[in-house]
Structure 1
Amino acid sequence: MDEAEWTPRPARAEDLRVGLISWAGSYLTFETYKNTVTATAKGLGRRQTWEILVSNEHDAQAMVRLRSLQGLYLLCEADGSLCYGRPRTSHHGCFLLRFHRNGKWTLQCIISGRYLESDGEDVFCTSRVLSAYHMWTPRPALHVHVILYSPLNRCYARADPTMGRVWVDAPVPCLEECGFLLHFQDGCYHLETSAHTFLSHLDRLVSQPSTQTAFHMQVRPGGLVALSDGEGGTLYPQGTRLLLGLGSSPCGGEEWFILQRCPTWVSLRSKTRKFLSIVYDVEVCAASEHITPMSLFQFECNNESPNVQLRSSNGCYLVQRRHRTVMADGHPLESDTFFRMHWNCGRIILQSPNGRFLGIVANGLLMANATIPGPNEEFGIRLANRPFLALRGRYGYVGTSSEHDLLQCNMDQPDCIHLLPCRQGIYHFQAQGGSFWSITSFGTFRPWGKFALNFCIELQGSNLLTVLAPNGFYMRSDRSGTLLADSEDITKECIWEF
């Protein structure tokens, strides 16, 4: 099986979530204790995130409902007021969503025909005459580290730092060059590559963000986006090499990309310091001293369980077959492709569905033999497609603030944490200026340390991890906004999206 048979994953709930920004620059907000909706928040958080549920879509409009992360729906009442709850009839809470050429959305109540609007604070539906006050700017709510997939070309965007260009030619998104940071600023988006350069209107990568790297975004439910310069130019793949550049005549929808969170690819290393690799198309063994495309596995995990699936770059999954042999020819729905993961100081142990642990036998093959895990069943694991982390917790992103000297965990945009691998599962955290993360006696962090400290990363889901700090406690987000390392156990505040 070759790379051309790679199948992109279907849309997930996170791909359907957006924040809605009013004309005044504030976000549509779910007010937990007031049974009402406002537009006062200046940042995108959990209460400003809405899932767009589409019942019917056609060209430039769709019939939708808006559901909060708390599971309640945005409802328009007869007097034009808004609240949240459960729909009482088939049309209660339904809006006609129209997509406008400037990237804005309007939401018209199906029952009353009135438009959703804000006065800068309150939100209501009272007017049937469309105006600028009814325009809402959608902002994708998924994590800022993303990939761009072209459904027409069936390839992913890939930055080329050598040529200073972006091509849409990667059949499998296993390279770090396929990941981009999507920065939102002043209503526009800036695409930053993994090498920290920016895509510009001149179709080249430049070192700094500017007005020439700012793009307007058209957003459709389900993660479809199109980027333009606001002056008639649209980004789409061009020429035989599929250069991503601005043009004025995209054909057949080639300007549309599916925006998804950057997947997690890892390499696994045995105690003999050899990487698990696929040989002869389907056999899995510890054979290579160097990382190759056949040594990379996508880490797919249901965030509600400790089970993981490992997908190879040939599109198939590791699976336990007869005689306890592990092969790379599984399909996603096979029960024997799910392995239970255990962690030991940054090293991963995988347990097969029959209860035995995966390990390397004398001939180098991967098999599910051991009833009790030992050194042969422990694998060093390393993030393969990202040289940095952008961490998001319950209250926002981890980053620095001009108002605080400690690292914060409630930021609207992240600071990149550069990863310097130390040992398998152990990293040094380097700040953007080249200094290292330091930790205080109170378990808080500063980004200007002189010496590198050890941080242990353990994956908890497809794009979730925990960090064991140098003081022996788990790093967590705090409601105050200060990043802390003081938790002995893994709680919800210790789980980080990356």
Structure 2
Amino acid sequence: MSNDTDKYMVFGLISSGKKYLTQENFGLKINALGKYLKTKQKWTVEQPAGEDASYIRSHLGRYLSADAKGNVNCEAETRGANEKFSLEVQKDGRWAIRSVTHGNYFGGSDDLLHCNNKTIGGTELWTVHVGVHPQVHIRSVINKRYAKLNDGELRVREDLPWGEEALITLGFQDGKYTIRTCDDKYLTRLGNLVEEVNEDAQFTLELISGKVAFKDCTGCYLSPIGPTASLKSKNKSPGKDELFVLEDSYPQGVFLAHNGKHVSLKQGQDLSANQPADTIEDNETFQLEYDDDSSKWALRASADKYWTLVPSSGIQATSIKKTAPEALFTVDYDGKDITIKANNGKYVTAKPSGHLFAISEAVTEKEKFKFRLINRPLLVLRGEHGIVGAKSKTKVECNCVNIKLLHLVYQDGAYKFKGADGKFWDVDNEGNVNMSEEGGEFILEFRQQSKLCIRAPNGKLLKGEQSGLFKANGEDVAPDTLFEF
């Protein structure tokens, strides 16, 4: 959601021919020929406040249009009468897209798209595929809280989505969604969690005023139920109780200082490396939030305050504004270690007492930290060509269509990637990423919000190609070495 007046959601639209609606970069042509949900297949649905109409915008910023003769194009740079559509959700969750101005339905297949039918036929129905990264937080509209795994249930009780228990992985297949928790189980309409997908664990997704609702196989909708606010199906029609917002899941983790202790906020506002390395609780967990304007990072504490450089050069969690200059830090990578530079140009270090101060002119061992990502025990990596995962027993590729869950195993500043078959990623002498029994150690480098680079054991960055080739031969941070997580 971009502002208070317009509601935005990003989707892929799949035709009756099982292909994605696409706008080509050249000529602004549209077709339904896309095999996968990539950039050209992403469409933003805009729902202005106070209007019943929706507008459908392509990745090139152009709006889908239909004229009185039923011709369709995607060339308009602004919203007008021909760009108004009504999204009519069918019982099976598919959309019928009707021109508000002319009353016709948008449909067709391949490169023969039109908007000239007054009734809904087979080619006028579109399956909706959410375009956000499949690992999200789910926030309830009615109580403004987040879903989190608690006592074997998903309960909507958290003010902040903190820790791995708040991570939700949305699966998508044949127009149906699954809701997977961090312990690799699936939510059912009854509120219980199961290890295998069944009919009760499949939902259709509806867009309502920029929010989403999950409808089960009986036609009822998920909502927070009872004093525990457990997610279960109840009502046959969606009201505010049944509406949710899907939000990006930011990286959260712990910082290990040179003294072997975790940085913590247990002592008031002061940040201090004073907790044992085996202690990981909310006070030791921090969230990385990227600022595009400065290319720096804000570090959020569970108390909902940000790391802040104070006049004494100490680091406290006091700022409520993450873009304040004193709350922004430069994070650099040095092998398995990171360094943190404050707004005064000095590096952060832990004093003998453990308290953090930005007082160092140069980097020594005392200015180095190890960051351990903790809210991705299950990881989905998506590059510009698709999902990263093993297509065979031995080879890892970067253009998979379906979700490939990876188990992330931390080892002293590095990680191992374990696939579903229990084997690990490794790199051979030519830089190919393969599966092996032991696997290699990889380093995660967070570069943008919800995007990272992966440095392989050979010192190169993992790089994806359109063909699916996935190799450790990248030199620089670039679109083909950046992966959403």
- Identify whether the pair has TM-score above 0.5, normalized to the shorter chain: yes
Q: How does 1:315-330 map to 2 (within 5 A)?
A: 315-330=304-319
Partner of 2:457: 470
Partner of 1:155: 145
Distance 1:51 1:188 in 2: 20
Instruction: Please say if 1:193 is aligned against 2:181.
Output: yes
Q: Structure 2 vs 1, CA of residues 212 and 64 (structure 1 numbering), >3 Å: closer, same or farther?
A: closer
Instruction: Please say if 1:492 is aligned against 2:479.
Output: yes
Q: Is the 8 A contact 2:454 2:461 kept in 1?
A: yes
Q: Structure 2 vs 1, CA of residues 238 and 89 (structure 1 numbering), >3 Å: closer, same or farther?
A: closer
Q: How does 1:68-467 map to 2 (within 5 A)?
A: 68-77=58-67, 79-87=69-77, 90-100=80-90, 102-119=92-109, 121-160=111-150, 163-220=151-208, 222=210, 224-248=211-235, 253-289=240-276, 290-303=279-292, 305-332=294-321, 333-401=323-391, 405-424=394-413, 426-447=414-435, 449-467=436-454
Q: How does 1:8-47 map to 2 (within 5 A)?
A: 16-47=9-40
The residue matched to 1:212 in structure 2 has which SS?
Answer: helix
Question: How far off its partner does 1:480 sit?
Answer: 0.9
Q: Structure 2 vs 1, CA of residues 254 and 444 (structure 1 numbering), >3 Å: closer, same or farther?
A: same
Q: Deviations over 1:250-309 (max 9, x none)?
A: 885211111122221111111001111113331111111122211111110035653000
Distance 1:303 1:134 in 2: 40
Question: How far off its partner does 1:341 sit?
Answer: 1.5
Q: Is the 8 A contact 1:53 1:66 kept in 2?
A: yes
Question: How far off its partner does 1:233 sit?
Answer: 2.2
State TM-score, norm by structure 2: 0.92
The residue matched to 1:283 in structure 2 has which SS?
Answer: coil
Q: Deviations over 1:74-128 (max 9, x none)?
A: 2334543333323377435333344455533333334433321124552221223
Q: Deviations over 1:396-416 (max 9, x none)?
A: 1002225x8521111122322
Letter in 1 for 2:9: L
The residue matched to 2:283 in structure 1 has which SS?
Answer: helix
Distance 1:41 1:14 in 2: 26
User: Which ranges in structure 2 are unaligned for 5 or more consecutive residues?
Assistant: none
Distance 1:23 1:220 in 2: 23
Q: Structure 2 vs 1, CA of residues 421 and 73 (structure 1 numbering), >3 Å: closer, same or farther?
A: same
Q: Is the 8 A contact 1:312 1:318 kept in 2?
A: yes
Letter in 1 for 2:10: R
Distance 2:130 2:208 in 1: 10
Q: Is the 8 A contact 1:307 1:341 kept in 2?
A: yes
Question: How far off its partner does 1:165 sit?
Answer: 2.5
Letter in 2 for 1:496: F
Q: Is the 8 A contact 1:52 1:221 kept in 2?
A: no
Q: Is the 8 A contact 1:37 1:122 kept in 2?
A: no
State TM-score, norm by structure 1: 0.89
Q: Structure 2 vs 1, CA of residues 423 and 15 (structure 1 numbering), >3 Å: closer, same or farther?
A: farther
User: Which ranges in structure 1 are unaligned for 5 or more consecutive residues?
Assistant: 1-7
Q: Is the 8 A contact 1:151 1:257 kept in 2?
A: yes
The residue matched to 1:372 in structure 2 has which SS?
Answer: coil
Distance 1:252 1:233 in 2: 12
The residue matched to 1:433 in structure 2 has which SS?
Answer: coil
Q: Is the 8 A contact 2:168 2:180 kept in 1?
A: yes
Question: How far off its partner does 1:23 sit?
Answer: 3.0
* Alignment: residue pair count: 481
Q: Structure 2 vs 1, CA of residues 417 and 349 (structure 1 numbering), >3 Å: closer, same or farther?
A: same
Distance 1:305 1:412 in 2: 34
Q: Is the 8 A contact 2:221 2:238 kept in 1?
A: no
Q: Deviations over 1:383-432 (max 9, x none)?
A: 02121321100111002225x852111112232221211112x1122121
Distance 1:129 1:31 in 2: 28
